[in-house]
Amino acid sequence: MSNQPDIIVLFSGGLDSILAAKVLEQQGLAVRCIHFITPFFGSAKAVPYWRKIYGLDIVSQDVGEEFAQMLRQRPEHGFGKVMNPCVDCKILLLRKARLYMESVGAKGLATGEVLGQRPMSQRRDTLHLIMRDAGVSGILLRPLCAAHLPVTQMEESGLVDRTRLLSFSGRGRRDQLDLAAELGVTEIPTPGGGCRLTEKENARRYWTVLTLLPQAGDRDFTLANLGRQFWHHEGENHYWLCIGRNSADNDKLAAAMQPDDMLLRLRDLAGPMALARSGADWPRHVLESAAAHAASYAPKAVAAGGPVAVRARQGQAEGDAAFEMDVTPQRVGEAWGEALWDDVKAVIRAEARERLAATLHGKHKPGPEDAE
Ligand code: SF4
* Under 8 Å between Cβ of 300 and 269: yes
Cα 254 vs. chain centroid, distance in angstroms?
21
Distance in Å, CA 89 to ligand 1 centroid: 6
Residue 94's Cα: distance from chain center in Å?
Answer: 16
Distance 179 CA to ligand 1 centre (A): 24
Residue 283 lies in a domain: yes
Residue ranges of the chain whose pLDDT lies below 70? 1-2, 119-122, 192-193, 333, 363-372
Q: Does residue 83 sit in the same domain as residue 168? A: yes
Please indicate, yes or no, whether residues 225 and 278 belong to a single structural domain of this protein: yes
Q: Is residue 176 part of a domain?
A: yes
CA of 156 to the centre of ligand 1 (A): 30
Whether 335 is in a domain gets the answer: no
The predicted structure's pLDDT at residue 122: 61
Of 198, 199, 200, the residue with max ligand 1 atoms within 8 A of its CB, to mutate for a pocket test, comes to: 198
**Total structural domains in the chain?**
3
State the angle between helix axes of 124-134 and 86-104 in degrees (0 to 180), rounded to the nearest 10: 50
Report residue 46: phi and psi, to 5°: -75, -20
> Is the residue at 29 inside a domain?
yes
**CA of 80 relative to ligand 1 center, distance in Å:** 9
Q: Give the domain CATH number at 152.
A: 3.40.50.620
272 and 358, same domain (yes or no): no
Q: Which residues pair with 33 in a beta bridge?
A: 9, 58
pLDDT of amino acid 370: 42
Pocket of ligand 1 (CB under 6 A): 41, 84-86, 89-90, 121, 195, 197-198
Which residue minimizes the CA distance to atom 6 of ligand 1? Answer: 86
In a domain, 336, yes or no: no
Where does a domain end: 195, 224, 251? 195
Cβ atoms 42, 96 nearer than 8 A:
no
Contact 213, 250 (CB under 8 A): no
Same domain, 176 and 212: no
Q: Do residue 116 and residue 98 come from a single domain?
A: yes
Write out the residue range of the structural domain in which residue 346 sits: 341-371
- Quick one: pLDDT at residue 127? 82
> Does one domain contain both 173 and 261?
no
| Residue that is last in its domain, among 148, 174, 195 | 195
Residues 159 and 265 in one domain: no
The reported pLDDT for the residue numbered 153 is 96
Among 195, 225, 259, residue at a domain's last position: 195
pLDDT digits (tens, 9 = 90+) for 38-72: 999 999 999 999 999 999 999 999 999 999 999 99
